[in-house]
Amino acid sequence: MITFISFIVVLGILIFIHEFGHFLVAKLSGVGVEKFSLGFGPKLLSLKKGETEYRISILPLGGYVKMVGESPDEVVSESDFKRSFTHKSVYNRALIVAAGPIMNLILAIVLLPVIYLIGVKVPAYLYRPPEVGFVSPHEAADNAGIKGGDVIESVNGKKIKDWEELLSALSSPGKPSAIELLRDGKDIKTTFIASVSPDTGGSIIGMYPPMKPVIGEVSKGYPAEEAGLKPGDVILAVNGRVITHWAELETIIHKDGTKKTFLIKRGDKQLTVNITPRYNANMKVYLVGITRLDKQIFRRYGFLGAVERGLTLAAEMTGRLFMVIKGLILGRYSLKTLGGPLMIAEVAGKAAETGLTDFLTLVAFLSLQLGIINLFPIPVLDGGHLLFFGIESISGKPLSEKFLGIAQQIGIALLIALMVFVTYNDIFRIFG
């Protein structure tokens, strides 16, 4: 029940804010609005106020604002001519259409700082001294000569007090940074250049804080569960190699799919299990299905800090979205990673159970995606209409009704095909 209610609330917020954008700018532009609907199909509830019928319809996967004279072939009375959408200038029509996705973007930009004002759970290691626990071979930190046990004292002359400041200071990939560190009581200087992540576009620094190899969760259906591993187990060794850091463990597991012997400490006992990692086509690595025990603390930020972090997160989310789209086009990511309504419902339910900030983060994340994707120049989407308005403004005349009709049909067909595909992915993910 929590999952269903959370799903309806999330969709309701996203749809309402989107359609309210169209509605508000239409009213301000002098366009008459006949219907404002959350959902499609037969109405469940309705209220008539003035000329507008406000309704909630049975299918919650969208909504619409029906404006006077919205269709070019719609017959409009002489008295309604000035209030007709079709007879407004291209500029006004474009503003009305763009207002929906823009409102989604505004909602995300407003919510993300609010989340940091309320307070968020963050990894505890971020506020520990910047001691290096592990250095990945052949990556940025290793290339700079940094070793496990080093303590980073400053970056580009700025003192570093914890891992949060260190990660922030090294967040620009490809940019040289002057690092001063302490090793065995000696001060050492080196030049550090972070590499670029092909997945996110962010920095890969190749060094980690101390992280004990303790299991936090075991994924269902993966080799670790089949081998009997449990949360709280400590990985002592793999194939006789002593493990002291979680990143070291990941490096060994991700490497190949050969059978590996794990030495486990569970309470006061030690046991040995054999596990064969399974290849994950989406992540393109071998996995056994375990995640690290990640201790977290609650952190509340001041206004300026919340705004800065909220806007930074919005930029990161936007970058990740385009990186995923690029990865899908280039074949780096499988289309099976795409999720639909069932996946949103599942995630919404978990977010609601976790707490308010996780729930609001999900709403902001989905609102940002909805706003950006809706601006893509694809028929049926708002971006498709904006493209047609742009062509109209250049040519000086509207596109033919026949062309618009065909374009809309193609757009609808693509949208239906996408919905069927992502729903299949959801069903396969749940039951497959």
The string over 85-113, giving b where at least 16 C-beta atoms fall within 10 Å of a residue's C-beta and e elsewhere, is bbbbebebbbbbbbbbbbbbbebbbebbb
Enumerate the H helices of 150-261 as residue ranges: 163-169, 223-226, 246-255
| C-beta atoms surrounding 389 within 10 Å | 21
* Strand residue runs (E) in 136-243: 151-155, 158-159, 176-183, 186-193, 195-196, 203-204, 207-208, 215-218, 234-238, 241-242
Query: Helix, strand or coil for residue 79?
Result: helix
How far apart (Å, rounded) are the C-alpha atoms in residues 99 and 109?
15
From 19, 70, 248, 250, the catalytic residue: 19
Is residue 19 flagged as an active site residue?
yes
How far apart (Å, rounded) are the C-alpha atoms in residues 137 and 255?
13
Q: Are 24 and 1 in contact (CB under 8 A)?
A: no
Catalytic positions are: 19
